[in-house]
């Protein structure tokens, strides 16, 4: 690139651009400078507006942040006792299914031995069994007191599995029978209520059942 040469024609000066060269005159240079200046001013103005928006955003969000936050909703079952204290003698409504022997979620295995009528519930203490006469290791010297554990054989069925534990220093789990039926198979037996007579064949004794009441239903006040 070179400046165009000039020659005199009729007393006037005329610019001449040699062949093969790109020549610029003063007017073209001024035009290019003006265009670049306009682009620079536009970009600078845009950046300035963006900075002002960012700086003013916290001030606009301050009133909303000052408002009290809504209490988070909790769907957990509330405990009826304080930590460290024994649980009250009551039965739970929302007993979870017994997932023992089931593959963990997300593990790619083929499930086998799945109950056809649904999973049974987890065992919980449903009451106590009492019988006249005691021993040196009994809770009372005048009677024998044993815990009564039970569960539904399947959700929605009124058939139950029951068992108890012997008293003493080395308690073991022993099955019980009710209405001449064993309560440890898949079919289970009828529900045991307070005052019913329950047999423990391995001990050769019969006991009187005292069942716990169900815990009171609770609701979620935020819904």
Amino acid 17: pLDDT: 72
Beta strands in 76-123 (DSSP E): 90-91
**Per-residue pLDDT band at 1 (split at 50, 70, 90):** very low
pTM value is 0.54
CA dist list (Å): 36 to 23, 28, 93, 183:
20, 13, 78, 93
Question: Tokens 């009564």 label which residue?
Answer: 148
Who contacts 169 (Cβ-Cβ below 8 Å, separation ≥6)?
A: 137
163 CB neighbour count, 10 Å cutoff:
17
Who wins on pLDDT, 208 or 120? 208
Least confident of 56-60, 184-188, 197-201, 216-220: 56-60
Q: Mapping DSSP to helix (H, G, I), strand (E, B) and coil, where does residue 37 land?
A: helix
Total residues belonging to the chain: 223
């Amino acid at each position: 690139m070179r400046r165009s040469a000039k020659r005199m024609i009729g007393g006037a000066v005329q610019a001449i651009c040699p062949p093969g060269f790109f020549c610029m005159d003063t007017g073209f240079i001024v035009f290019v400078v003006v265009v670049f200046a306009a682009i620079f001013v536009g970009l600078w103005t845009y950046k300035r507006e963006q900075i002002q928006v960012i700086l003013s955003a916290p001030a606009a969000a301050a009133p909303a942040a000052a408002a009290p936050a809504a209490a988070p909703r909790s769907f957990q079952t509330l405990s009826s006792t304080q930590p460290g204290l024994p649980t009250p003698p009551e039965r739970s409504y929302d007993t979870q299914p017994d997932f023992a022997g089931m593959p963990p979620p997300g593990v790619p295995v083929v499930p086998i031995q799945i109950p056809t009528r649904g999973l049974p519930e987890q065992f919980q203490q449903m009451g106590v069994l009492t019988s006249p006469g005691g021993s040196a290791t009994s809770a009372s010297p005048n009677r024998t007191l044993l815990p009564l554990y039970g569960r539904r054989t399947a959700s929605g069925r009124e058939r139950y599995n029951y068992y108890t534990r012997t008293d003493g220093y080395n308690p073991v789990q022993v099955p019980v029978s009710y209405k001449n039926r064993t309560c440890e198979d898949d079919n289970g037996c009828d529900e045991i209520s307070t005052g019913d007579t329950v047999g423990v064949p391995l001990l050769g004794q019969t006991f009187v059942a005292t069942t716990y009441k169900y815990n009171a239903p609770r609701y979620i006040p935020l819904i």
